[in-house]
Amino acid sequence: MNWKDRWTTIVQKIEIVDSPAVESTLLATLADSAAPQVLGFVNAHAMNRCAADAAFFEALSSADVLLRDGSGMAIMYRQAHRESGLNMNGTDFIPKILAAFRGRGVAFWGTQDPYLSQAIINGERQFGIRVVSREDGFKDFAHYLRLARQSAPELIVLGMGMPKQEQLARELKGKVHGAPLIVCGGAVLDFLGGKVDRAPPLMRNAGLEWMYRLAREPRRLFHRYVVGNPAFLVKVLAWTRARSHG
């Protein structure tokens, strides 16, 4: 499968959330599932990785629910003459999931101390969850599978970044007991633990949070944004052209 077909597969699988009511229904469905589910978020960086890495594409596309994340994806949808719906970025949506799991057992796997410990304190205080399993994001898959079986969390938040979290989520879904919701959370534990600040509301509302993050972490995020964003837009043009001629 070439990268354009991979992109088409991902776009067809993304669930468009076009109103707060639809978002509320989705939250209730995720919180009450009777089977293991994987939730992933698709932004420009994920699409670039899908184009370059077939194994990552397989992991991402195996998720049960994919949501559109970021202004880059909104541009892509406009170019394809599709409705893009609400911006369902994980940094905003995952706290709503945590609130929906109030009183239930949650695993936080990702980042490292002191930020992991602070994320647990803040998560339990703000959302009323019980963190029953904690681990940094640098262990092998077998270690996390053992943790899942020992602690039986109802929600697993993976804050390991791409591609590890998507690949681990795929492994966990097929092997873990019970019916947990497994969320590919990116930097959400860093945000919750105070390692990374959110952009001011005006920048977030304008779809420019990526610029704020780049300014705060230029070394780490240079390739992702300064190189990756233009590369993504070039691919968007090629993908939409291929679709119009297909």
Report whether the peptide linkage leading into residue 114 is cis, meaning its omega lies within 30 degrees of zero: yes
Q: What is the sign, positive or negative, of the torsion defined by CA atoms of 194, 200, 203, 205?
A: positive
State residue 218's pLDDT score: 87
What are the DSSP E strand ranges found in the chain? 14-15, 37-42, 65-68, 105-110, 130-135, 155-159, 181-184
State residue 107's pLDDT score: 97
- What does pTM read for this prediction? 0.93
CB atoms within 10 A of CB 128: 13
Helix, strand and coil percent figures for the chain, each rounded to 5 = 55, 15, 30
Q: By the 8 A CB rule, do 74 and 16 touch?
A: no
Which tops the pLDDT comparison, 175 or 125? Answer: 125
- pLDDT of 6 > 90? The answer is yes
